[in-house]
Structure 1
Amino acid sequence: MADPILTLSGVKTNIAQYHILQGVDLDVPRGQVTMLLGRNGVGKTTTLRSVIGLWRAHEGTILFDGEDITRRPTPAIARMGIGFVPEDMGIFSDLTVEENMTLAAVSGPVDSARLDWLFSVFPPLKTFWKGYAGTLSGGQKQMLCIARAMIEERKLYLIDEPTKGLAPAIISTMARALRELKAQGASILLVEQNFAVARALGDGAAVMDDGRIIWAGAMRELATDKDLQERLMGLSLEAS
């Protein structure tokens, strides 16, 4: 396996009285796309939010690029080079697209070449650059959410269900953008329910159930083994 950029060892996270993560062990190889799969409610989002520090792991260790980030605050983790795309988008509706993007550039002024690339993969952002983010369509808001994480080159991207609820044309745009990000050598941990997207983008896969990783391996192995899919998740990827 490639050198892991992210390693979770025995990570347990509680939310109020609920024990969500029950001891997650996960390696995310450097320069690859790792799909985090599983049924709803098994802990995928909690895993991402524990890595970025929004929800604090109370047990276990999270190593990023060789450094222990388990107890670090979210802003410090982000400045180390992790971009996060939350499921709920979290855009600032009363700010313009430009202002949303500017705030996301934590290292300084927005790089013009990087911005031009983002405009090429998400053309509506250029069209509505001076418009308020709250006036965008659902698909355009998702583009903005992903573009904010990509405005600077990050070492690792945590992306939570980027195609959820989107029309097929918008899903194609999202997949193309993520494919280009992957081609740049990015390391990505991606939660995705659209298995066609998972098959197309994933190098590796990890399947969660009941707050634990129950299987990890090559995405192509999971994508071509219907028996394995049904045993792990109770469904067939070919039907998705």
Structure 2
Amino acid sequence: MSDPILSLRGVKTDIAQYHILHGVDFDVPRGEVTMLLGRNGAGKTTTLRTIMGLWTPRAGEIILDGARVDGLTPARLARKGIGFVPEDMGIFADLSVEENLRLAALSAPPTPERLEWIFGAFPALKTFYHSPAGTLSGGQKQMLSVARAMIEDRALYLIDEPSKGLAPAIVATLARALKDLKARGASILMVEQNFSLARALGDNAAVMDDGRIVWAGTMAELARDTALQERLMGLKMESA
């Protein structure tokens, strides 16, 4: 395993009176894709939101590039180079696609080269570049959400269930874009219920259950062990 860009050590997070994370420990290796897997309600989205500063952990450490970042605001974490694709997409419906992308570029306006790369990954965004984001289809909105994170190089991308509810053709488009991002050396932590997509993209996997990491290893090891998949996630996974 390569040098981790992100480490969680004993992270505990409460939401109101509910204890959601019960001491989460795992690493995200630099330049690799780590899939955060598990049953619904296991704590995956809460983990991403805690890393991004949307929830403040009551205990534990979150370490980015060797420095503790737990307790920082989402704005400060974004400036430290974390790109976040939330489950609810997080786009500005009243603004155009162009305005959404420009607002997401924190360091400088997007370069023509970067925009062409984005349009190559998501051609629909070029077609509707000047249209309000709220008029896009569900799949196109998800493309825009991912593109907002990709509009400039980030130290780390947090991506929460990008394929949820999307048609297979849109999932294939997203998969190609994320493979391209991976090929460019990105460090990615991604929550995903589509195991075929997780297997295609992931280098490593961490499986959650009841607010804890119950297994961690390579994605290849998990992908070839269907009994392990069923035991950890409670599902019979498709072999295709």
Give the TM-score of the pair, scaled to structure 2.
0.98
What one-letter code is carried by the residue in structure 2 that aligns with 1:56? Answer: T
Residue 188 (structure 2) pairs with residue 185 (structure 1) = no
Unaligned runs of 5+ in 1: none
> Match for residue 146 of structure 2?
146
**Root-mean-square deviation over aligned CA pairs:** 0.9
Cα pair 1:51 1:70 within 8 Å, conserved: yes
> Match for residue 98 of structure 2?
98
Which residues of 2 match residues 49-60 of structure 1 at below 5 A?
Answer: 49-60=49-60
How many residues are aligned here? 240
Cα pair 1:223 1:237 within 8 Å, conserved: no
Cα shift readout 1:43-64 (whole Å, capped 9, x = no counterpart): 0000000001011111100000
Partner Cα distance (1:38, 1:21) in 2 = 13
> Match for residue 31 of structure 2?
31
Q: Secondary structure at the match of 1:236?
A: coil
Which residues of 2 match residues 113-128 of structure 1 at below 5 A?
Answer: 113-128=113-128
Measured after TM superposition, the shift of residue 237 of structure 1 is 2.3
Measured after TM superposition, the shift of residue 239 of structure 1 is 5.5
Cα shift readout 1:181-203 (whole Å, capped 9, x = no counterpart): 00000000010000110110000
Which shows bigger deviation, 226-235 or 132-141?
A: 226-235
Unaligned runs of 5+ in 2: none
Cα pair 1:10 1:25 within 8 Å, conserved: yes
Q: Secondary structure at the match of 1:238?
A: coil
Give the TM-score of the pair, scaled to structure 1.
0.98
What one-letter code is carried by the residue in structure 2 that aligns with 1:138? Answer: G
> Match for residue 15 of structure 2?
15
4+ long deviations beyond 2 Å = 236-240
Measured after TM superposition, the shift of residue 159 of structure 1 is 0.1
Partner Cα distance (1:17, 1:127) in 2 = 46
Q: Secondary structure at the match of 1:237?
A: coil
Cα shift readout 1:147-189 (whole Å, capped 9, x = no counterpart): 0000010010000000000000000000000000000000000
